[in-house]
Amino acid sequence: MDALISYLVNVISLGGTYALLALGLAVVFSVLGLINFAHGELMTLTGYVLLAGILTGQQFWVAVLIAVLACGLAAVLMEFAAFRPVRNASGATLLMTSFAVSMLLQVLFQNGISARGQAIPVPPWLTTSISIGNSQISKVQVMSITIGILALIALKIFFDRSYWGWAIRAAADDFEVVGLMGIKASRLISFAFLLSGLLAGIAGVLWVVQRGSVDPLMGFKPVLAAFIVAVIGGLGSLTGAVAGGFILSAIEIALQTWLPAGVMPYRDAITYTVVVIILSFFPNGIFGKRDQEKV
């Protein structure tokens, strides 16, 4: 029972972060047909801004807020500087641009800050645990689950109730026709990047607080996981991004918890084998469109 509670806590905690990251990717994919691999560097940026905020004496939650907002702003600037000039280019060009931005930011972090990891000094109250039955759950995990769930609920309300939420969902179905609704394409794309950046910011805070440090290359693994999550859910599907986040998390944590020690080095290989098996049953992802036109 305790093992199950511990498993579920870990799945929800990691799954929420994956879901937020994958939603960020899916939102941009919806409007631009682009998987933005620089999304991971937005997370890294969040980590550094959070670190700067804490080191300059800001209260923890103020530093978190500044970091998330900075990440949203950075995403808008990224779109304006890097993606807008090539907006009408092929999917391959957009993809290469996202890799270029990713590399550029990594080099800037390495040379402008440090190639080595920096510890994030989280407040002492976050380092303690609470007990559920005989299970100990760290407060970082409690925070992660709470913020993750609140963010997903807020997003659900946003997508269901707001004009821009409908516009992004509509763009996922048919971007061209969204233009016929009189919605300015560049404004919708900027808005999508802002939302994507805010999601990367929230996920970034959860990620760095859980691992306790930030380094220039830390964005690669989570963005790769988020990409896989988005593919499992169905590229461009917002519901799929959330479902995929929890599916990948459930697989990873199950293997982490119950895989025999001798097989543990093959954990990632087994994870992705399971992913491939899922995709063989759902070639366009669980919630994906049957005919995917975008690249």
Q: Which residues bind other proteins (CB under 8 A)?
A: 163, 166-167, 169-170, 172-174, 176-185
Would you say 212 and 120 are in contact if contact means Cβ atoms under 8 Å apart? yes
* Pairing state between β 135-138 and 213-214: unpaired
Nearer to other proteins among residue 84 and residue 139 (C-beta): 84
CA 64 to CA 73: how far, in whole Å?
Answer: 14
CA 175 to CA 33: how far, in whole Å?
Answer: 9
- 23: nearest Cα among 142, 131, 154: 154
Q: How far is the CB of 38 from other proteins (least distance, A)?
A: 27
- H or E segment to which residue 219 belongs: none
* Residue 263 CB burial class (10 angstroms; 0-12, 13-18, ≥19): exposed
Q: How far is the CB of 178 from other proteins (least distance, A)?
A: 7
Nearer to other proteins among residue 119 and residue 181 (C-beta): 181
Q: How far is the CB of 92 from other proteins (least distance, A)?
A: 18
Please report where in the chains the tokens 């950046």 appear, as a residue.
Answer: 197
Nearer to other proteins among residue 85 and residue 179 (C-beta): 179
Would you say 23 and 165 are in contact if contact means Cβ atoms under 8 Å apart? no
Nearer to other proteins among residue 180 and residue 276 (C-beta): 180
Q: How far is the CB of 164 from other proteins (least distance, A)?
A: 10
Nearer to other proteins among residue 88 and residue 131 (C-beta): 88
Nearer to other proteins among residue 69 and residue 185 (C-beta): 185
Q: How far is the CB of 174 from other proteins (least distance, A)?
A: 6
Q: How far is the CB of 177 from other proteins (least distance, A)?
A: 5
Q: How far is the CB of 77 from other proteins (least distance, A)?
A: 23
Q: How far is the CB of 179 from other proteins (least distance, A)?
A: 4
DSSP calls for 110-161: HHHT-SS-EE----GGGG-EEEETTEEEEHHHHHHHHHHHHHHHHHHHHHHH
Nearer to other proteins among residue 86 and residue 269 (C-beta): 86
Nearer to other proteins among residue 147 and residue 243 (C-beta): 243
SS3 291: coil
CA 100 to CA 284: how far, in whole Å?
Answer: 27
CA 45 to CA 47: how far, in whole Å?
Answer: 5
The two structure tokens encoding residue 262: 């001798």
